[in-house]
A and B are shown apart, each in its own frame.
Chain A
Amino acid sequence: MKRVLIGLAAALALGSGAARAQDAAQVQRGQQVFTAWCAPCHGGKRVGNRWALPATASLEVKYKGEKPALLEQRTDLPAGALKLFIRGGSQSMPAFRKVEVSDPDIDAIAAYLQSTSAKGR
């Protein structure tokens, strides 16, 4: 019985390690996709005391401080919410096709945003 429990614990440890690696890979993939497809508008570049990129500047006007203008600081963007914006567009942002940003890419962006917002907390 003890051997079984030790074996189970080892398997769980191994499993959680593999899961962590998988999570890290997904976050890394999310960062790549975000950098390529989102950051040119939603990035954090500042010029002087203002956001330099169009979508970040626009969200600052929209949220008036109620939410962060920067997506990488948001805690309320799980994959389902992201999908609505990415596949449907929003205001002047057009929708993105699956050939550009796939569904697994959206999951990865969500994982990346979760990781960046957690760092900010």
Chain B
Amino acid sequence: MAILPPGVSQRDFNAAVRLFKEAVGEAWVFTSDEDLGPYRDAYATHWGEAEERRASAAVCPKSVEEVQAVVRAANRYKVPVFPISTGKNFAYGGPAPNMTGTVVLDLKRMNKVLELDGDRYTALVEPGVSYFDLYRAIQDRGLKMWIDCPDPGWGSPIGNALDHGIGYTFGPYRDHFGSRCGVEVVLANGEVMRTGMGAIPNAGSWQDYPYGYGPEVSGLFGQANYGIVTKMGFWLMPQPESYRTATVTVPKRGDLQKLISVVNYLEHSHLIGEPLFGAPLRALMGNAAFRETIVKAGGPSDAEMDRYASDNNLHSWSVELQFYGPEATNAANWAHAQARFAAEIPGVRFIEGDSLKIPLTEAQIDAAPRRGVRHGIPSLDVWSIVTRSIDPTGVNDGHIGFAPIIPRTAEAVFKAQRVFTDAFRSIETIFGANALTVPQAWHRRSFIFFTTLPTSRTNPEVNRKTRASMLKLIEIGAANGWGEYRAPPEFQDPIVNAYSFGDHSLRRFSEAMKDAVDPNGILAPGRGGIWPKRFRGNRA
């Protein structure tokens, strides 16, 4: 199936492909259906349908110079290119472009860990480096520092950061884009730019100070299309001496407010890592009356829920705390946390967890779900959630994430529970929300009210329902002031549309910049909902 970029003639496309081959070598330009198959998004919600976003070719440069040559050729023939790093951003687009016909610029061959500094706790990497690669490089050199990785370790630190991805350790490091320091970018005109101290030749402090002097522009390259990031520096976490876990439970539904308030105090004081909220009342899910109560219209009353809790000798909410640091400091921080919770919440209970020396043994890592990623150890263990071992029916081949940002308050959590429980009652999906749905504290200053929607490569009906559900959820979220932090390409336009303050002044500003720095609109048209003038009619 020959695909051309929109508005590009076959002759110009062929000429561009010839120049791409000159730039990177014939073996690293792919145009056949067979070779382009793996550039499809395996979790696409339009899999096999006309609307599925497909590449016209893929080009795989090995160096910055080759990227520059590809960009110049693309500019000459006005052929759009879509950079990917490791291409593993599944549930958020995978290796496929935003706009059908775009040439994928596959940066996987640029896979060097360029610098590691175990005294300053920094790294400088290329986009094709995976979390596995970076972890191994640090281990091979015996450095006592941690990466913070997302669930799947085959992703790219650069790609994940650029999509505002998250991890599971300490707050500042969980925000992968926030822990960047220094970026190198190939611009649409083929020039190379470095941000921060990297703009001073031979500065030696590129990964020490992000701002340099003047505007700090590296933030412009996240979820956007102003350049192709070819290097990024990161701040890494010193390997702690020990790790401690503990769980706090509170008796009443309304106690969530104080629970979150104290957790926020602890996390923003840098005393704890990721807090894991839970709902002990899930133990009652075998009770049909209870199941009906937690999804009733308008939500259950606090009194109803408190009665279930007291009748069953259960607490309403829990939070597991993660402490990283010297053993004595962890013990003191846990004691301090207990004092703060006890002062605020009558009836609070404390459950001791583990106190372990780092590095953990393999058995200690396996003893708790996701403990590996909480210690910066990448894996693919999370894939079990989309395999037959979890879903024996094999109905779902994958999923996409619905991930609205809400404030870090109990008031927002209760409101989101009510709104999305009602929403899921009226839309077709096998997933849902209820009065026990807990927020994710992945980003350190906000909550994500996360759920997933299934995708299928064999059943278009599953995908149809997912698309309809996702669009409805985005609309409902926007009506309540909630916007998504991340999404697959086909939902980026409706999501950006919700960020509409000032008659969409943010989008108009983004697109004015786009037209200024990329007048031919060749870099990733549509990424982040930013469309160049030439392709603006493609906005969904």
Q: Do A and B come from one complex?
A: yes
Q: Does B389 contact A (CB under 8 A)?
A: yes
Task: Please name all residues of chain A whose beta carbon is closer than 8 Å to the beta carbon of B382 when the two chains form the complex.
Answer: 54
Mark the stretch among B32-40, B186-194, B275-283 that contacts chain A.
Answer: B32-40
Most buried by B among A53, A87, A96: A53
| B190-233 vs A, Cβ < 8 Å mask (1 yes, 0 no) | 00000000000000000000000000000000000000000000
Chain A residues in 8 Å Cβ range of B528:
none
Is B535 among interface residues, defined by CB-CB distance under 8 A? no
Q: A94, B94: Cβ atoms under 8 Å? A: yes
Q: Are the CB atoms of A40 and B153 closer together than 8 Å?
A: yes
Are A57 and B94 interface neighbours, CB within 8 A? Answer: no
Interface size class of B (residues with CB under 8 A): 35 or more
> In the bound complex, what is the Cα–Cα distance between A51 and B414 (angstroms)?
38
Docked Cα-Cα span, A55 to B87, in Å, equals: 20
With contacts A97-B38, A97-B58, A99-B106 known, is A61 near B392, CB below 8 A? yes
Given A54-B383, A57-B384, check contact A92 B38 (CB 8 Å): no
Which of B39, B366, B380: most chain A Cβ within 10 A? Answer: B380
The reply to whether the CB of A88 lies closer than 8 angstroms to some CB of chain B is yes
Q: How many Å lie between the Cα of A95 and that of B94 in the bound state?
A: 10
Stretch at the interface among B250-258, B316-324, B346-354, B394-402: B394-402
Asked if B42 and A53 make an inter-chain contact with CB atoms under 8 angstroms apart, the answer reads: no
Residue on A with the closest CB to B27?
A98
- Cβ-defined contact, B380 with A54, below 8 A: yes
Partner of A40, one of B60, B108, B154, B389: B154
B interface secondary structure, majority: loop
Does A100 lie at the interface of the complex (its beta carbon under 8 Å from any beta carbon of B)? yes
- A42-79 vs B: 1/0 string, CB under 8 Å? 00000100001111011011100000000000000000
**Chain B residues, Cβ within 8 Å of A62:** 388, 394
B485 at interface by CB-CB < 8 Å = no
In the docked arrangement, what's the CA distance between A56 and B388, Å?
10
Taking CB atoms, residues of chain B closer than 8 Å to A93 are 42
Which chain A residue lies CB-closest to B88? Answer: A94
Task: Decide if B381 touches A52 in the complex (CB within 8 Å).
Answer: yes
Instruction: Report chain A residues within 8 Å CB of B387.
Output: 54-55, 57-58, 61, 91-92
Please, how many angstroms separate the alpha-carbon atoms of A21 and B333 in the complex? 59
Complex Cα spacing A81 to B16, Å: 35
User: Does B450 sit at the interface, judged by CB under 8 A?
Assistant: no
A54 and B384 contacting across the interface, CB-CB below 8 Å:
yes
- Chain B residues contacting A36 (CB-CB under 8 Å) are 132
Chain B residues closer than 8 Å to A47, beta-carbon distance: 366
Q: Are B383 and A100 in contact (CB under 8 A)?
A: no
- Least CB distance from B156 to A in Å reads 12
Q: Is the CB of A95 within 8 A of B42?
A: yes
Cβ 8 A contact of B37, one of A52, A54, A57, A88: A88
- Assess the A97–B106 pair: CB atoms within 8 A: yes
Q: Which of A47, A60, A61, A97 has the most CB of B within 10 A?
A: A97
Contact residues of B between 322 and 361, Cβ < 8 Å to A: none
Complex CA–CA separation, A68 to B34 (angstroms): 29
Q: Which residue of B lies closest to A43 (CB)?
A: B380
By Cβ-Cβ distance, the 3 closest A-B pairs, closest first, are A58-B387, A95-B38, A94-B42
Chain A positions near chain B (C-beta within 8 angstroms): 36, 40-41, 47, 52-55, 57-58, 60-62, 87-89, 91-100
List 18 additional contacts besides A58-B388, A61-B392; criterion CB under 8 Å: A40-B153, A40-B380, A47-B366, A52-B366, A60-B389, A87-B37, A91-B387, A92-B386, A94-B88, A95-B37, A95-B40, A95-B42, A97-B39, A97-B106, A98-B30, A98-B35, A99-B106, A99-B109
